[in-house]
Amino acid sequence: MAQGLVDEFVSQVIANSDYEEVDRVYLTNRVMAIVGEDGADAPATADANDIVDLKEELADLAARNGKVGDTAAEKDTVGAQLMDFITPAPSVVNRTFWSTYEQDPAKAIADFYAMSKRNDYVKTKAIAKNIYFPVPTEYGDIEITINLSKPEKDPKAIAAAKNAKTSSYPKCQLCIENEGYQGRINHPARANHRVVRFDMDGEGWGFQYSPYAYFNEHCIFFYGKHEPMKISKETFHRLLGIVEQFPGYFAGSNADLPIVGGSILAHEHYQGGRHTFAMEKAPVETEFTFDGFEGVKAGIVKWPMSVIRLAGKNCDEMVELASKILDAWRSYSDPDAQVLAESNGEPHHTITPIARRKGDEYELDLVLRDNQTSEEFPDGIYHPHPDVQHIKKENIGLIEVMGLAILPPRLQKELAEVEKFVLGRDNDIAEYHRAWAEEIKRSHPEATEDTVTGIVQDAVGKVFSRVLEDAGVYKRTPEGKAAFMKFVQTLGTKEK
């Protein structure tokens, strides 16, 4: 005999947690307190073994019973509450992580990631909706994602958020106070959210996963205090410390200036994960050593953005050199190359750093950033230019810098119309795609129903390659390469 929806969910809670069969009545009552009693005994339509789908059905039931509003954000608060039943308390999570870490750091990380997926904090089913494809370019295989995992806000949710009472708790979505937070219409539900605490140079930090991951094991390392992001000597030291403490993960930081920075500049944090990006695979094409730092291998990477790669076994020496490069770049101007350190007291230069560990050697990529604007390029001189903004208009942050495009969901439908246009079929193509689509059609008269998707995807990849070239301070021309070396030589180098 089939169990009712609540019973099925409770059975899965018992199977996936430390609760036991004797807890069934208690759990049933607690679940009904959240979702309501009407319909609780109705048969589940979801797979009885899939706790995430059962949770979604219960959230819908809660909305029907008036326990919560029917917007996605409101139902998410119920969903997170329900998944909290299978999520250990923060003290247990931390005790288990560090106990396992003492014996096997990789297993401790893997277990925490598995828990974060199992309790639906990492939205694996939503992430699976994303469109992904690699595209070969002269810089290697760059990766394209069209982000469909985050549900678009409906008009009701937008209106409700505008009318919602303002709150400064938590101060932002990265603060430690998010752990266990119920959520509200204008702040995500975090009842099932857990953070591993760790110490870095005597200061408290948190390690968590990203709910809507853009790559494998996409995680975040954040400072325990709500303080603004800042790229400094300490940044390089911390990033190298993280890749030592969390084996197999890279760690990187968004830049700390508007236009070239990330979406959250108000809270010091880094991103990491277990993924090999195209930039990591890109070779060093011009090798040199810096005077006084002969133990550090250095060079310019063959990449559309302007990257200096450092590699060596001595972290302290690498940190000193990276700090020297940062200080020099912050104050460096070369008007002939359209490079300006500041204007009207506003600083323009910073660095996007990425750290990795390769065996007993460390690697640090320093991506030079410049956030100047001009009359011709009001969005940013080193920002996607207007002719490619039909594909990518948003800031080029850490993930894009490394060669993974995060493109807006609008493109799913828009590219389907571009495909129709290329095939000469009736279409509703967006006007801002027309010139690009006409070029694709001219270049590929052989396009068929079977090949057109690949042709358009390849064209998207080529546009993203151009986006990265726009964001590169020094262009990959003889003049650009010479100007890049001119900056490098101010630091004292010997070319190999």
Note the pLDDT tens digit of each residue in 74-114: 999 999 999 999 999 999 999 999 999 999 999 999 999 99
Which residues, 6 or more positions from 227, have their beta carbon under 8 angstroms from its beta carbon? 267, 268
Nearest CA to 122 out of 161, 73, 83 is that of 83
Query: Is residue 28 a contact partner of residue 34, using CB atoms and an 8 Å limit?
Result: no
Q: How far apart are CA 456 and CA 131, in angstroms?
A: 13
- Which DSSP helix (H) or strand (E) runs through 131? strand 131-137
3-state secondary structure of 469: helix
Sheet of 404-407, strand order: 131-137, 140-146, 404-407
pLDDT of the residue at 48: 79
Phi and psi dihedrals of 453, rounded to 5? -60, -45
Q: How far apart are CA 87 and CA 283, in angstroms?
A: 43
Q: What is the pTM of this model?
A: 0.93
Nearest CA to 78 out of 70, 87, 68 is that of 68
Nearest CA to 97 out of 180, 196, 218, 176 is that of 196
pLDDT of the residue at 167: 76
pLDDT of the residue at 163: 53
pLDDT of the residue at 59: 96
Instruction: Return the residue matching tokens 């190999």.
Output: 496
Instruction: Kindly calculate the radius of gyration of the chain based on its CA atoms and give it in whole angstroms.
Output: 25
Q: How far apart are CA 143 and CA 405, in angstroms?
A: 6
Nearest CA to 226 out of 168, 268, 173, 198 is that of 268
Query: Is residue 206 a contact partner of residue 176, using CB atoms and an 8 Å limit?
Result: yes
Chain-centroid distance, C-alpha 411: 19
Query: Is residue 329 a contact partner of residue 231, using CB atoms and an 8 Å limit?
Result: no
Sign, Cα dihedral of 433, 435, 439, 445: positive
Q: Where are the beta strands (DSSP E) in 224-360?
A: 250-252, 269-273, 284-290, 297-301, 307-312, 342-343, 346-347, 349-358
Query: Is residue 111 a contact partner of residue 100, using CB atoms and an 8 Å limit?
Result: yes
Burial class (CB in 10 A: 0-12, 13-18, 19+), 323: middle
Instruction: Return the residue matching tokens 């993960």.
Output: 249
Phi and psi dihedrals of 378, rounded to 5? -65, -25
- What CA dihedral angle connects 436, 439, 444 and 449, to 10 degrees? 30
Tokens of 275: 């993924």
pLDDT of the residue at 185: 83
Burial class (CB in 10 A: 0-12, 13-18, 19+), 200: middle
Which residues, 6 or more positions from 67, have their beta carbon under 8 angstroms from its beta carbon? 34, 35, 36, 78
Give the pLDDT confidence of 379-430 residue by residue, as tens digits: 999 999 999 999 999 889 999 999 999 999 999 999 999 999 999 999 999 9
pLDDT of the residue at 264: 78
Helix 434-443, helix 452-471: angle, nearest 10: 120
Chain-centroid distance, C-alpha 136: 22
Give the pLDDT confidence of 470-490 residue by residue, as tens digits: 999 999 999 999 999 999 999
Residues (pLDDT < 50) of the chain are 1, 155, 157-159, 161
Nearest CA to 228 out of 254, 203, 190 is that of 254
Name the residue ranges covered by the structural domains of the chain.
Answer: 5-86
pLDDT of the residue at 158: 41
Query: Is residue 86 a contact partner of residue 17, using CB atoms and an 8 Å limit?
Result: yes
pLDDT of the residue at 1: 35
DSSP 33-97: HHH-STTTTSBP-S-TT-HHHHHHHHHHHHHHTTSS-SSHHHHHHHHHHHHGGGS--HHHHHHHH
140: left (phi over 0), alpha (psi -120 to 50) or beta: left
Q: How far apart are CA 269 and CA 232, in angstroms?
A: 13
pLDDT of the residue at 168: 84
- Which DSSP helix (H) or strand (E) runs through 11? helix 5-15
pLDDT of the residue at 161: 46
Nearest CA to 270 out of 315, 309, 223, 307 is that of 223
